[in-house]
Amino acid sequence: MQLSRALGGAISAAASHALDLALPARCSGCGREGEPLCRSCARALDARLELPGGVPIGMPAELPAPLLQLEWCAPFAGPVRAALHDLKYRGERRLARPLGLAVARRWGRVGVGASVVVPVPVHAERERRRGYDQAALIAEVAATALGIPQRRALERERATTAQFRLGRADRAANVAGAFRVRPAGGQVAGHWVLLVDDVVTTGATLAACATVLVHAGAIGVSAITVARER
Ligand SMILES: [Zn+2]
């Protein structure tokens, strides 16, 4: 039952992927036909490009331990929010390219260190159903543009409640212990890891990932997301 559902999900994901590529893209931001994110809407991705890095807005204590740096490209709003939604829920994988390149631009401008890029994983069953892991697609584009190797070193051990359904206080507890370093393909020891995810809110998910990476021998963990939600 579970297997057939997983297979069905994978087949429909593959079919919708093929269909997507056959159809011209439509801009997530304004609906214009041509590109998954038109040039005008894509400008929103660089909303923070000129801002200095390394200083989280608000109190320094807002940087969740053990993260060394937390960066993001733009507020979670407008075309950025629409693009992230369409990548995650509408199967528009072509959006990974503009989103990943924006991550690379911001990190290239203000990022410090980082010898390997690691995406924050969705649960394996969710990836099977969706056909891909959106953070891994973004991370792959960003890593290539930055010239840093990407490793899918983490996995989500248990499905967690979607963070947006929870209050701030419950978010850390929800993701604590949810991640582990993959038995194979880990190799984070001695590396300064750059975590990549689509959206950050409190940083609890990134902090939970960073904790297990440090335990696995990473010498430091920084993070960047496409957007920040407040
Ligand atoms: Zn547009």
Q: What is the pLDDT of residues 6-42, one digit of tens each?
A: 555 555 666 666 666 667 889 999 999 999 999 999 9
Distance 229 CA to ligand 1 centre (A): 21
pLDDT (tens digit per residue) in 177-191: 799 999 875 689 999
Q: Helices 134-146 and 78-89, interaxial angle, to 10°?
A: 120
| Predicted local distance difference test score (pLDDT) of residue 198 | 97
Distance 81 CA to ligand 1 centre (A): 12
- d(C-alpha 88, C-alpha 58), whole Å: 29
Distance 35 CA to ligand 1 centre (A): 8
| Predicted local distance difference test score (pLDDT) of residue 7 | 55
Report whether pLDDT(46) > 80: yes
Distance 83 CA to ligand 1 centre (A): 10
For residue 63, what are the contacts with CB-CB under 8 A and spacing of at least 6?
Answer: 56, 69, 70, 203
Distance 96 CA to ligand 1 centre (A): 16
| Predicted local distance difference test score (pLDDT) of residue 1 | 44
Distance 101 CA to ligand 1 centre (A): 17
pLDDT (tens digit per residue) in 128-168: 999 999 999 999 999 999 999 999 999 998 766 777 677 77
DSSP H helical segments within 43-200, as ranges? 78-89, 96-110, 124-130, 134-146, 168-175
- d(C-alpha 134, C-alpha 10), whole Å: 15
Domain positions in the chain are 2-228
Q: For residues 80-92, give the mean pLDDT.
A: 96
Report whether pLDDT(228) > 80: yes
| Predicted local distance difference test score (pLDDT) of residue 162 | 72
| Predicted local distance difference test score (pLDDT) of residue 220 | 95
Q: For residues 187-205, give the mean pLDDT.
A: 95
Q: Which span out of 8-12, 122-126, 220-224 was modeled with the highest average pLDDT?
A: 220-224
| Predicted local distance difference test score (pLDDT) of residue 229 | 92
Distance 37 CA to ligand 1 centre (A): 5
- d(C-alpha 224, C-alpha 106), whole Å: 9
Q: Which fold has domain 2-228?
A: Rossmann fold (3.40.50)
Distance 91 CA to ligand 1 centre (A): 18
Distance 32 CA to ligand 1 centre (A): 6
Which two three-digit tokens encode residue 92?
A: 């528009």
Q: State CA 204 to chain mean position distance.
A: 14
Distance 33 CA to ligand 1 centre (A): 9
**Percent of the chain's residues with pLDDT above 70:** 84
Distance 89 CA to ligand 1 centre (A): 18
Q: Model pTM?
A: 0.86
| Burial class of residue 4 in the structure, from the number of CB atoms within 10 Å of its CB (0-12 exposed, 13-18 middle, 19+ buried) | exposed
* 153 and 185 Cβ atoms separated by less than 8 Å: yes
Q: pLDDT-based confidence at 110, cuts 50/70/90?
A: very high
* 100 and 141 Cβ atoms separated by less than 8 Å: yes
